[in-house]
Amino acid sequence: MSTRDVIIIGSGPAGYTAALYASRADLKPLVILGHEPGGQLTTTTDVENFPGFPEGILGPDLMNNMKAQAQRFGTEYLTTQVTQIDLSKRPFKVTCENGDEFLTQSVIISTGASAKYLGLPNEKQLIGKGVSACATCDGFFFRNQVVHIVGGGDTAMEEAMFLSKFASKVTIVHRRDSFRASKPMQQRVFDNPKIDILWDHTVEEIIADDTGVTAIKVKNVNTGDMAQRETNGLFMGIGHSPNTKFLAGQLDLDGHGFILTKDGHPDTNIPGVYACGDVQDPYYRQAISAAGSGCMAAIRAERYLEEFGRV
Ligand code: NDP
């Protein structure tokens, strides 16, 4: 079994930036790309808020550029995902889905987070045909159409505001009679004439034909009454799940499964193990903040290896 200085688990702006810094520090990192190489940005179109691209850049292009830049300095990539990791002793052991096993002196975890879905039978088949978990990615396709969004947190508010720029009508469907979103975000929604709110309702069914989503069935949680509402789109705004299942109790996580890091550093509770990007950040969730934390994780890993020894 080969032993590495640093293995980076997960690709995306955090993982690729960690790889860039680690490879330029001559640590010859191995990036295990995961099931969605490049992460959430590969399902986005224009990225207009990543500094350095005055005209914007396509999400997949940005990720390919980052990947190539890290490769130029000696980063290796492996297309598989990690199924198990043993952090109980150093060197740490990493087991992959394809059967590969590695030992490594340090680990950087950048596995990101995935949008949550409701669990309705046809919702995943309808992604791209009216169902979406990313208004920023797909809102543009709903120009002058009617859309519904589920959720009552900041994500749902933010996505509803964004959708209102394109859609003719946006309805937020929420399972309770109050939002958990911050007050200013709620106020912006209440003040927006294009947005209305269906309190105390859940989405029970998505109806679609060959053209995509046409309606949803909603249930009043107080009376049990069902109603059908015509819609061209259904957006999920019910939060994100960090991709930390493979860690299975080996690292300190918060109540939602995000990796806990220390005092603004990418350090986890285990020395030599670092976390960056959305897997440890339920708050900012931006490509640029993920990239920044990836840089920090690589610098911390480099200093740790200087102190405690390389392969
Ligand atoms: P939250 O967990 O805060 O909110 C999720 C919302 O979805 C809740 O209203 C919840 O309902 C609802 N929900 C969850 N599961 C279901 C379900 N199965 N069916 C129906 N409704 C469901 O997630 P967010 O993604 O909104 O926010 C995560 C964090 O990120 C927060 O800390 C937030 O403040 C932050 N954030 C900040 C932003 C900003 O400042 N610009 C933007 C976006 C997020 P209920 O309330 O009943 O539990």
* Domains of the chain, start order: 3-114+240-308 (3.50.50.60), 117-236 (3.50.50.60)
Q: What is the pLDDT, as a whole number, of residue 120?
A: 97
Give the pLDDT band of residue 44 (cuts 50, 70, 90). Answer: low
Per the model's pLDDT, the better-predicted residue between 137 and 290 turns out to be 290
Q: Is there an atom of ligand 1 within 6 Å of 281 CB?
A: no
Atom of ligand 1 minimally distant from the CA of 240: 25
| Residue 76 CB neighbour total at 10 angstroms | 14
Q: What is the pLDDT, as a whole number, of residue 35?
A: 82
Rounded mean pLDDT, 158-180:
97
Ligand 1 pocket test: pick from 183, 187, 238 the residue with the most ligand atoms within 8 Å of its Cβ.
238
Q: What is the pLDDT, as a whole number, of residue 248?
A: 84
Per the model's pLDDT, the better-predicted residue between 232 and 240 turns out to be 232
Residue 232 confidence (pLDDT) above 90: yes
Q: What is the pLDDT, as a whole number, of residue 45?
A: 64
Residue 196 confidence (pLDDT) above 70: yes
| 297, 266 Cβ separation under 8 angstroms | yes
Please state, in angstroms and rounded to a whole number, the distance separating the CA atoms of residues 129 and 121: 15
Per the model's pLDDT, the better-predicted residue between 64 and 282 turns out to be 64
| Mean pLDDT, the chain, integer | 94
Instruction: Sort strands 82-86 and 92-96 into parallel, antiparallel or unpaired.
Output: antiparallel
Residue 307 confidence (pLDDT) above 80: yes
Q: Is there an atom of ligand 1 within 6 Å of 153 CB?
A: yes
Rg, C-alpha atoms of the chain: 21
Q: Point out the least confidently predicted range of 2-16, 41-55, 188-202.
A: 41-55
Q: Compute, in angstroms, the gap from residue 180 CA to the centroid of ligand 1.
A: 7
Phi and psi torsions of 36, nearest 5°: -130, 75
Q: Compute, in angstroms, the gap from residue 54 CA to the centroid of ligand 1.
A: 32
Per the model's pLDDT, the better-predicted residue between 171 and 49 turns out to be 171
Q: Is there an atom of ligand 1 within 6 Å of 151 CB?
A: yes
Residue 171 confidence (pLDDT) above 70: yes
* C-alpha 233 chain-centroid distance: 21
